[in-house]
């Protein structure tokens, strides 16, 4: 398809991961139309059980999206007004949004300059007597030192919640993302490592009581199996049957897709100049799944334009740390220099299972070249 060396390379291309399941999904979808079970049903329960296995938890609860999954976890923890949840400032806005929607206050933390992830020391610093939980983000699909973070939360008697929206299948010392906290939230937005054909998400947990509450709360607070027993303040955040079918079909391919991402990440690392465009570091215990391949460059916007001129698509995750966004600025309590600098420097390069190794190498060479050119000019 591509003329070697000259064709454009999009930032994200979902062709391969869509075509891989097209026939299977269309076949299963016909079965759903025959059964008319459009919400819930066997397909959802089947996917939930398989996804819980991936995460080494006893339960998974499908939701309408990843933001709701986080929101439901925090609501189920019964946070009250004035209760604080520590959160790294350099995350996707949804992590912070969910904290505020759950009625709590975000307490912004800065991050490690190499991995851009939360550290035990930075967490410890951010904790106050009002802190009830921390939302640990496995940003870009890499894992922070979760056992060490958990030691801090256990010592303070606060809940560790994982935002694993970018980390399906990632592990720390062989143990899967989602299994370290009281509960974890996943997103199946189409561009995520495991993506639906629309919006979808899930909570995973091995706490049966918490799971029961979240299961009820995602379905209008229905308890005890009664259609009209609304025993909890709930919401409607169920997982559609059709999305469960898509996710189930894709789940089988996830290990292969994640190893493809790892191979691409190695190719990028081998070629990108560590002085000019360092790749965001992965900690030794982490076997990440490279949801995004992020480098740091000076004059990021100029480098982006230079790549665009060669037909290379890029992204920025994320230009504005959450404590600088209008709805959340009031919660900022201290300068967060690492998060702010990251916002100016981060650049996300093409990364998806259908990307060729030679294409990644071409992108890496062009990044080196455009950074050097800028330095000389
Ligand atoms: C995608 C994402 C979410 C939100 O998921 P949605 O399904 O889009 O609601 C939350 N946190 C992070 C880190 C994400 O990347």
Mean pLDDT of successive 10-residue stretches along the chain, which has 377 residues: 66 98 97 90 94 98 98 95 96 98 97 98 98 98 98 98 98 98 98 98 98 97 90 96 97 98 98 97 98 97 97 98 97 95 98 98 97 68
Report the candidate in 134, 61, 124 with the shortest Cα–Cα distance to residue 104. Answer: 134
- CA–chain centroid gap for 286, Å, is 15
pLDDT of residue 327: 98
Q: Which of 63, 95, 162 to mutate to test ligand 1, by most ligand atoms within 8 A of the CB atom?
A: 95
| Span from the CA of 14 to the centroid of ligand 1 (angstroms) | 18
The residue among 196, 129, 140, 195 whose CA lies nearest residue 163 is 140
Q: In ligand 1, which atom is closest to the CA atom of 199?
A: 7
Q: Which atom of ligand 1 is the closest one to the Cα of 70?
A: 10
Residue 9 per-residue DSSP state: B
Q: Whose CA is nearest to atom 2 of ligand 1?
A: 165
> How remote is the CA of residue 235 from the centroid of ligand 1, in Å?
18
Q: At CB < 8 A and 24+ separation, what contacts does 99-104 make? A: 99/70, 99/74, 99/135, 100/327, 100/328, 101/71, 101/74, 102/71, 102/74, 102/75, 102/77, 103/75, 103/79, 104/74, 104/79, 104/80, 104/132, 104/133
What pLDDT score was predicted for residue 6? 63
Smallest CA separation from ligand 1 atom 10, residue: 94
CA of 99 to the centre of ligand 1 (A): 13
Ligand 1 neighbours, Cβ below 6 Å, are 65-67, 91-92, 94-95, 137, 163, 165-166, 187, 189, 199, 201
For 302, residues 6+ apart whose C-beta sits below 8 A from its C-beta are: 370, 374
């Amino acid at each position: 398809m591509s003329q070697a060396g000259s064709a454009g390379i999009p930032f994200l291309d979902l062709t391969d991961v869509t075509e891989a399941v097209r026939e299977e999904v269309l076949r299963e979808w016909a079965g759903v139309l025959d059964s008319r079970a459009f919400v819930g049903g066997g397909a959802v329960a089947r996917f939930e059980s398989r996804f819980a296995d991936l995460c080494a938890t006893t339960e998974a609860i499908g939701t309408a999206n990843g933001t709701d999954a986080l929101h439901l976890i925090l609501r189920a923890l019964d946070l009250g007004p004035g209760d604080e949840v520590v959160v790294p400032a350099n995350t996707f806005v949804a992590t912070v949004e969910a904290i505020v929607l759950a009625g709590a206050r975000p307490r912004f933390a800065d991050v490690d300059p190499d991995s851009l992830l939360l550290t035990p020391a930075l967490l410890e610093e951010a904790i106050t007597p009002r802190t009830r939980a921390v939302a640990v983000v496995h940003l870009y699909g890499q894992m922070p030192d979760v056992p060490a973070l958990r030691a801090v939360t256990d010592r303070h008697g606060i809940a560790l919640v994982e935002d694993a929206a970018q980390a399906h299948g990632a592990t720390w010392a062989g143990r899967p993302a989602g299994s370290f906290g009281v509960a974890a939230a996943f997103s199946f937005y189409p561009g995520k490592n495991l993506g639906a054909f629309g919006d979808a998400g899930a909570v995973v947990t091995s706490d049966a009581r918490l799971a029961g509450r979240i299961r009820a709360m995602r379905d209008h607070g229905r308890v005890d199996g009664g259609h009209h027993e609304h025993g909890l303040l709930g919401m409607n955040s169920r997982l559609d049957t059709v999305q469960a079918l898509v996710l189930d079909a894709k789940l089988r391919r996830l290990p292969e897709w994640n190893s493809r991402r790892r191979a691409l990440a190695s190719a990028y690392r081998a070629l990108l100049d560590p002085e000019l465009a360092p790749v965001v570091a992965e900690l030794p215990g982490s076997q990440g799944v490279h949801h995004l391949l992020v480098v740091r460059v000076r004059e990021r916007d100029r480098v982006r334009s230079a790549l665009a001129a060669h037909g290379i698509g890029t992204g920025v995750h994320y230009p504005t740390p959450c404590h600088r966004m209008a709805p959340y600025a009031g919660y900022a309590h201290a300068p967060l220099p690492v998060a702010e600098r990251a916002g100016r420097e981060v650049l996300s390069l093409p990364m998806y299972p259908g990307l060729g190794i030679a294409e990644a190498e071409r992108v890496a060479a062009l990044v080196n070249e455009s950074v050097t050119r800028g330095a000389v000019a």
